[in-house]
Amino acid sequence: MIVFNEEDKIFHLSNKYISYILKIDEYNQLLHIYFGKKIQNSNFSHLVEYAKRAMASCPSMDKNNNSYEHMRQEYPQYGHGDMREGAYEFIHNYGSNVCQFEYKCYEITRGKKKIKGLPTVETVECDTLSITLEDKILNSQIILYYSIFDEEACISRRVEVKNFSDSPLKIEKLLSMSLDFYDNQYEMIDLYGAWSRERYIERHKLHYGKQSISSMRGHSSNNFNPFFALARKETTENIGECFGFALVYSGNFEADVYVDTYDVTRVMFGIESSTFGWTLNKNEIFYAPESILVYSNEGFNKMSNVFHKVINKYLIRDKWKNKVRPILINNWEATYFDFNEEKIIEIATIAKEMGVELFVLDDGWFGKRNDDTSSLGDWFVNYDKIPSGINGLSEKIHDLGLQFGIWIEPEMININSNLYNEHPNWLVGDKNYLISQSRNQFILDFSNDEVVDYIFKLLDNVLKDSKIDYIKWDMNRSISEAYSQNLNATSQKEFFHRYILGVYSLYEKLISKYPDILFESCASGGARFDLGMLYYAPQTWTSDNTDAIERLKIQYGTSMLYPLCTMGSHISAIPNHQLFRNTPLNTRANVAFFGTFGLELDVTKLKNEEILEISKYIEFMKDYRKIIQFGDFYRLINPFESNRCAWMVVSEKKDIAIVGVYKILQNVNGPYEKINLQGLDKNKKYTVNSKYECYGDELMNYGLVISDEGSGERSGSYKIEKGDFSSMIYLIKEKEEV
């Protein structure tokens, strides 16, 4: 619900959980009043505090108590009294960067629409407020959009700029949101990492000044994820206040938290400004990506839960909304580049018998690609390896009763390729200088529509005659020496944003022609795991690191924002290819269950008993994936802080719960152990692994006993298994009345 108090010029957006309040002041500037737990509607004017402060710049001669430096603002501009960093910057044709946008009008509508060319949360289950601000000298408008969801403690915000002037508007900075919190008693939580250790959780106290995370690599990156949260210092997984922020964008981003010396905390999120610039011509509109704001007063788990719901309900494409993900086998770690059609059929045949549903042919099927030094850009089949072609092979795989998918890396080019010989100018980089290679490859200039169209046609030629159900879209390097021969000298700062718009436009083209294909995005594992990608590709390859024990941290951290149905998770071989670690097969399965679940190993080399064991895991996943992928997820034991990890999912009806408990190293003669479960119905009677019965309140308040023989006890078989890297799944089902 959105109400506007005409007299005091206050907007109040609210639902059952949250309130968001802002005000137009006497100078037609937007002031922020509140975002947090719901408060009833009334006159909030008295909440705007004015005080006289030395050395402050004020807008009028009559008063000296209303400097914008000391006001909480909604979408601030730097320098206009407010000396903190602003959310936008425009340059006049005479060089000035001073401007003054004033409130002009507002509109309240039902639902929200897609942003042109950009991924967007789309739904009718929300109300949207748009506020138009205008600078008469610039003859331009900023439009702020706020959508409040009916059923979630969530607001989305985005910004548009329209230029009506004959002179082009130079945009230097345009963030998607800004929010001024009353105080600074928060800690910042973000997800940092690198290849094979993506989305580790960092939590730190705020200090005065600016703390920020960002990417300037051309993709959202594995270094920092476009997500962060602010929480009170006492906030835990299940208790306390926190605010989560995420950006629906896959390119360069910045997330800034600035604490001023009056203890106000300003949060800003959007396209990274030092690598961005845009010239907006007359009557053009610039769309900044959407940001998502979540509030929780029940800790981080609730925040994640709201994000998961918003992503599943409103972001994932209709075709894949609440749809269980196919159990796939991918041949990458089984064969790398060394395969032929016969080998692929052999793997697929056994996989089918094991219950797998989809075969994915990874890198190496095209051009002359027998290693990673050549052929990116040559998207036509290598008949030496696959004599039947992709169309023939796709038929054969379908005849086995499996779906079929392929790997592509459309944004890349090798010098050793036909594409480079034909179009050397399509490579990103300044030819007057060395252009860095990464994994022997270079970037194709996706800021150029001609390049995107060309790659679409090449891919379309493969897809149109074949039965393709799935595509793994990879992106294996960051963008360096970002210079485009397609853009003129004054537009080079548009490159990064135009590049990602090019990526989105190729996705749009492919999805409109092939709406049934399931895309899985990948960037050397999870270096582009973001909400922008999830709009097009409903799942992401979480990490190249397939080691079950490493995956505990990666999947635990990833779950802060992303639901399990989006996380690619496979059983791979031992010794593990990244860590050389040997983990038991059941632990590899018990970790992979909490994601999309698949296989990434050479099934032709498995022993019979391993085939039978994995087949049982596949059966289990088929039975419970709906609950795992779309139920409520709870983090129970944090692997960053202990020698254990545990998590669980609970079905919507609370009649089934699945708990995964993992031991990293075995301890000896330690304490008995139990964990307090979450999300069950306290009055329901459950059976635990068909071994004993108890009520939900026992499992939540006393806890589930997970002691093992290391505690000196000889336990029943329903308790956790013994030894390093062991694990246990507890299946908790409502007891059926007889």
Q: Which residues form the catalytic set?
A: 474, 544
* Buried-state track 514-526, b at ≥16 Cβ within 10 A, e below 16: beebbbbbbbbbb
Structure tokens at 83: 């000396």
Q: Is 419 helix (H, G, I), strand (E, B) or coil?
A: helix
Which residue's CB is nearer to ligand GLA, number 331 or number 629? 331
Count Cα neighbours of 301 within 13 Å in the Cβ-side half-sphere: 18
Stretch that binds ligand GLA, among 140-148, 150-158, 176-184, 519-527 (CB under 6 A): 519-527
522 binds ligand GLA (CB under 6 A): yes
520 binds ligand GLA (CB under 6 A): no
Which residue's CB is nearer to ligand GLA, number 17 or number 332? 332
Contact 285, 162 (CB under 8 A): yes
- Least distance to ligand GLA from the beta carbon of 695, Å? 45
Structure tokens at 316: 């994932």
Residues 6+ apart with CB under 8 A from 666: 708, 710, 722, 723, 724, 726
Determine the Cα–Cα distance for residues 278 and 498; give it in Å rounded to an integer. Answer: 10
Which residue's CB is nearer to ligand GLA, number 373 or number 491? 373
365 binds ligand GLA (CB under 6 A): no
Strand partners, 294: 154, 244
Contact 667, 657 (CB under 8 A): no
Which residue's CB is nearer to ligand GLA, number 178 or number 335? 335
- Least distance to ligand GLA from the beta carbon of 420, Å? 18
Which residue's CB is nearer to ligand GLA, number 8 or number 338? 338
529 binds ligand GLA (CB under 6 A): no
Contact 21, 33 (CB under 8 A): yes
414 binds ligand GLA (CB under 6 A): no
Contact 28, 103 (CB under 8 A): yes
Determine the Cα–Cα distance for residues 339 and 308; give it in Å rounded to an integer. Answer: 38
Stretch that binds ligand GLA, among 245-253, 389-397, 443-451, 521-529 (CB under 6 A): 521-529
Binding-site member from 363, 469, 520, 602 for ligand GLA (CB under 6 A): 363
519 binds ligand GLA (CB under 6 A): no
Determine the Cα–Cα distance for residues 631 and 312; give it in Å rounded to an integer. Answer: 11
How would you class 489 by CB atoms within 10 Å of its CB: exposed for 0-12, middle for 13-18, buried for 19 or more?
A: exposed
- Least distance to ligand GLA from the beta carbon of 584, Å? 23
Which residue's CB is nearer to ligand GLA, number 343 or number 622? 343
Q: How many residues does the chain have?
A: 738
Binding-site member from 544, 550, 632, 734 for ligand GLA (CB under 6 A): 544
| CA–CA distances in Å: residue 261 to residues 211, 266, 342, 729 | 14, 11, 68, 50
Angle between helical axes of 389-399 and 341-354 (0-180°, round to 10): 30
541 binds ligand GLA (CB under 6 A): yes
- Least distance to ligand GLA from the beta carbon of 703, Å? 38
Displacement of CA 688 from its chain's centroid (Å): 34
- Least distance to ligand GLA from the beta carbon of 414, Å? 12
For ligand GLA (CB under 6 A), the number of binding residues is 11
Stretch that binds ligand GLA, among 91-99, 318-326, 389-397, 522-530 (CB under 6 A): 522-530
- Least distance to ligand GLA from the beta carbon of 441, Å? 10
How would you class 625 by CB atoms within 10 Å of its CB: exposed for 0-12, middle for 13-18, buried for 19 or more?
A: buried
Determine the Cα–Cα distance for residues 160 and 162; give it in Å rounded to an integer. Answer: 7
726 binds ligand GLA (CB under 6 A): no
Binding-site member from 156, 220, 441, 524 for ligand GLA (CB under 6 A): 524
Strand partners, 247: 291
Which residue's CB is nearer to ligand GLA, number 476 or number 558? 476
Least Cα distance to 323 among 336, 334, 337, 313 occurs for 313
Structure tokens at 717: 């078989």
Residues 6+ apart with CB under 8 A from 118: 248, 249, 287, 289, 290, 501, 504, 532
User: What residues numbered 287-346 form the site for ligand GLA, per CB under 6 A?
Assistant: 332
Binding-site member from 85, 127, 341, 362 for ligand GLA (CB under 6 A): 362
- Least distance to ligand GLA from the beta carbon of 6, Å? 55
Stretch that binds ligand GLA, among 3-11, 204-212, 378-386, 518-526 (CB under 6 A): 518-526
Binding-site member from 525, 595, 679, 696 for ligand GLA (CB under 6 A): 525
Structure tokens at 524: 């050397």
Give the sign of the dihedral formed by CA 118, CA 121, CA 126, CA 129. negative
Stretch that binds ligand GLA, among 35-43, 62-70, 316-324, 520-528 (CB under 6 A): 520-528
Determine the Cα–Cα distance for residues 586 and 727; give it in Å rounded to an integer. Answer: 7
Nearest-10 Cα torsion for 89, 90, 96, 101: -90
How would you classify the pairing of strands 518-521 and 539-541?
A: parallel
Binding-site member from 127, 378, 474, 673 for ligand GLA (CB under 6 A): 474
Residues 6+ apart with CB under 8 A from 61: none
- Least distance to ligand GLA from the beta carbon of 191, Å? 18
User: At 210, which amino acid appears?
Assistant: K
476 binds ligand GLA (CB under 6 A): yes
Which residue's CB is nearer to ligand GLA, number 389 or number 525? 525
- Least distance to ligand GLA from the beta carbon of 315, Å? 23
Q: Give yes or no for a cis peptide into 575 (omega within 30° of 0).
A: yes
Which residue's CB is nearer to ligand GLA, number 212 or number 373? 373
Strand partners, 705: 674
User: What residues numbered 103-162 form the site for ligand GLA, per CB under 6 A?
Assistant: none
- Least distance to ligand GLA from the beta carbon of 530, Å? 16
User: What residues numbered 374-413 form the site for ligand GLA, per CB under 6 A?
Assistant: 407
Structure tokens at 63: 């008063």
Which residue's CB is nearer to ligand GLA, number 332 or number 499? 332
- Least distance to ligand GLA from the beta carbon of 339, Å? 12
Query: Would you tell me how many other CB atoms lie within 10 Å of the CB of residue 232?
Result: 16
Which residue's CB is nearer to ligand GLA, number 509 or number 577? 577
| Site track for ligand GLA across 73-102, x = CB under 6 A | ------------------------------
Q: What are phi and psi of 23, to 5 degrees?
A: -140, 145
- Least distance to ligand GLA from the beta carbon of 522, Å? 5
State which residue has the least CB distance to ligand GLA. Answer: 363
Contact 300, 237 (CB under 8 A): yes
Which residue's CB is nearer to ligand GLA, number 219 or number 644? 219
Structure tokens at 170: 């130079």
- Least distance to ligand GLA from the beta carbon of 474, Å? 5
Determine the Cα–Cα distance for residues 602 and 731; give it in Å rounded to an integer. Answer: 29
Which residue's CB is nearer to ligand GLA, number 147 or number 476? 476
Give the helix ranges, DSSP H, for 400-448.
418-422
Residues near ligand GLA, by CB under 6 A: 332, 362-363, 407, 474, 476, 522, 524-525, 541, 544
